[in-house]
Amino acid sequence: MRAREALIQLLGGLAAGVAGGLLGIGGGLVLIPLLIGYFRLTQHAANGTSLAVIGATAASSLVIYGQHATVAWWTAVWVALASTLTVRFGSAYARRLSSAQLSRVFAVFLVLVAGRLLWKPAGQAPSIPPAATIPVEIGIGVVVGLIAGMMGVGGGVLAVPAFTLLLGMSQRLAQGTSLAVILVTAPVGTIDNSRHGNVAWKLVPMLALGAAIGGPVASVLAHRVPQEALARTFAIFMLAQAIFIWRRAGRATKPAAA
């Protein structure tokens, strides 16, 4: 492996780990554009490789969130169990789309996530009765698994707002719980993608090392730095990435049309 590529892999994983630790989203939103733009992976392979890496982000970041008691473990259990049942269906649906189609779906997904981060409500009183808590958690897990399998991002971008809006969690508690879910969802999605040849395993070790370093460092900051400015800065970054991915998908379809 060339030293330059190894360094880029390490830095890419580091960036993903920082994003994951700060926002509780695993880091796939940072990693996938790098895998597509620099390493020239298809959208399908980038999604699968991302899932193989973000487990390292979740594991290393979760240590810090756990130390600060900002993980709702039982919620994580119910959501994770449900997500493992549906993540493979998300992966199967993604394989039915062309690379350009999946890229455009991912670009729209980034815009939606950016909108969620630009408008980021704090934890509030639960809007559901206590008796419905577990069914709602299972429902969240079902959708999280589908998103994780289809988009390769762990599902945290859906889990975090669902935890704050539906379950009344604080932002940090929602992020820590999301990372606990990703720790289960990501490996399940990775296994399914690997079976179909959609994981670039040669890239995984250095990316995962960077993610394992960046995750806990950012998790410490997440418990000290106000989240509003960080979330909105990241949202702007995602909007830029969505434009890049959409335009790249458009260029990819032109030769086929010709």
Q: 113-137 pLDDT, tens per residue?
A: 778 777 755 555 566 777 888 999 9
pLDDT at 4 over 70: yes
Total structural domains within the chain: 1
pLDDT digits (tens, 9 = 90+) for 33-62: 889 888 889 888 888 899 899 888 899 999
Domain interval for residue 102: 3-253
As a 3-state breakdown, the chain gives helix, strand, coil percent values, each rounded to 5, of 80, 0, 20
Query: Which residue stretches of 97-203 are H helix?
Result: 99-118, 133-151, 156-167, 171-195
Structure tokens at 174: 């929602």
27 vs 220, higher pLDDT: 220
Between 218 and 153, the more confident residue is 218
* Separate counts of helices (H) and strands (E) for the chain: 10, 0
Structural domain contains residue 64: yes
228: in domain: yes
- In this prediction, residue 221 has a pLDDT band, given cuts at 50, 70 and 90, of confident
Q: Is residue 160 part of a domain?
A: yes
Rg (CA), the chain: 17
**Model confidence at 200: pLDDT above 90:** yes
Q: Are 186 and 194 spatial neighbours (Cβ–Cβ below 8 Å)?
A: no
* CA terminus-to-terminus distance, the chain: 37
In a domain, 258, yes or no: no
Q: Which of 196, 134, 142 is closest to 166 using CA atoms?
A: 134
Say if 240 falls within a structural domain: yes
pLDDT, mean of residues 174-196: 89
**In-domain check, residue 164:** yes
Name the one residue in this structure whose structure tokens are 């991302």. Answer: 50
Task: Give me the mean pLDDT over the 148-167 stretch.
Answer: 78
- The answer to whether residue 144 is domain-embedded is yes
Domain assignment present for 200: yes
